[in-house]
Structure 1
């Protein structure tokens, strides 16, 4: 028996917010606040359930930080696989950034060839201080 999936108005609104934020990681709270701001309040439970469905369907990729922070998601509708990039996380503001760097690709290749160890690029996170927080720190001095 085929599973019937309803494409409700709420799901359309949630997906629209995700698509508008496709260049960054997004949390369920981000979507919830955006929808409230737009005058379309949707319950958090609905958002979480739909995120689970989108993750299962390969449209969202879940990223669970090891530091106990909330999970965030990346919109990846057509790939069906994890994107190949690293991440940087600011230790001050907590923002997570994509990092596409050919030099790190060389390091990854070196690890693989010389140390027989393959890095998981999607789960590799570099911790430090982002440019915005560095600027704030300079301005405070």
Structure 2
């Protein structure tokens, strides 16, 4: 078993993701943040830490339509993100976990009508949240 080192970069990355747990960030966003706050952080360090945190279930990664690459978000209490849909505010970037009976109905209806098994963890509904509307 490999020893885990608690580096400044890893601690800062984790702290940033925890403080912004309602949003996801690209690796480039995270690299830029860390480089502004810690000397000597490089892309390899960021990707290595992101991979390890994903393996440990501390963060999860997902794709967004119209964007290349992965986005990363702190897991909070949601470690089962493949069993529900997600919503994202197109203005502020806030992410929502959509867990409702209509999700099950939607999944069944798509399967019945189109013969398509929905991958809920990769399903993203984009809109504008109440805070941004007001």
The answer, yes or no, to whether TM exceeds 0.5 is yes
Alignment of 1:40 with 2:38, yes or no, is yes
RCO greater where, 1 or 2, for CA within 8 Å and sep 6 or more? Answer: 2
Kept in 2: contact 1:58–1:77 (CA 8 A):
no
Q: Deviations over 1:56-84 (max 9, x none)?
A: 11112111345452310121155443262
**Other structure's SS at 2:3 match:** coil
Give the drift of 1:108.
2.0
CA contact (8 A) 2:27 2:46 kept: yes
Q: Separation in 1 of the partners of 2:97 and 2:2?
A: 38
Tell me, yes or no, if structure 1 residue 20 matches structure 2 residue 19.
yes
Give the gaps of 5 or more residues in structure 1: 136-141
Aligned length: 129
RMSD (CA atoms): 3.4
What's 2:109 paired with? 111
CA distance, structure 2, for counterparts of residue 50 and residue 26 of structure 1: 14
Unaligned runs of 5+ in 2: none
For 2:15 and 2:2, the matched residues in 1 are separated by: 24
Q: Once structures 1 and 2 are overlaid, which stretch shifts more, 117-126 or 48-57?
A: 117-126
Separation of aligned partners in 1, 2:107 and 2:67: 30
Structure with max Cα Rg: 1
Which residue in the other structure is 2:96 paired with? 98
Distance 1:96 1:70, change over 3 A: farther
Paired with 2:74 and 2:101, the residues of 1 have a C-alpha distance of 25
Q: 1:45 to 1:23 in 2, by over 3 A?
A: same
Contact 1:87 1:122 in 2 (8 A): no
1:53 Cα shift?
Answer: 0.6
Q: Quick check: 2:18–2:74 contact (8 Å CA) kept in 1? A: yes
Corresponding residue for 1:59?
58
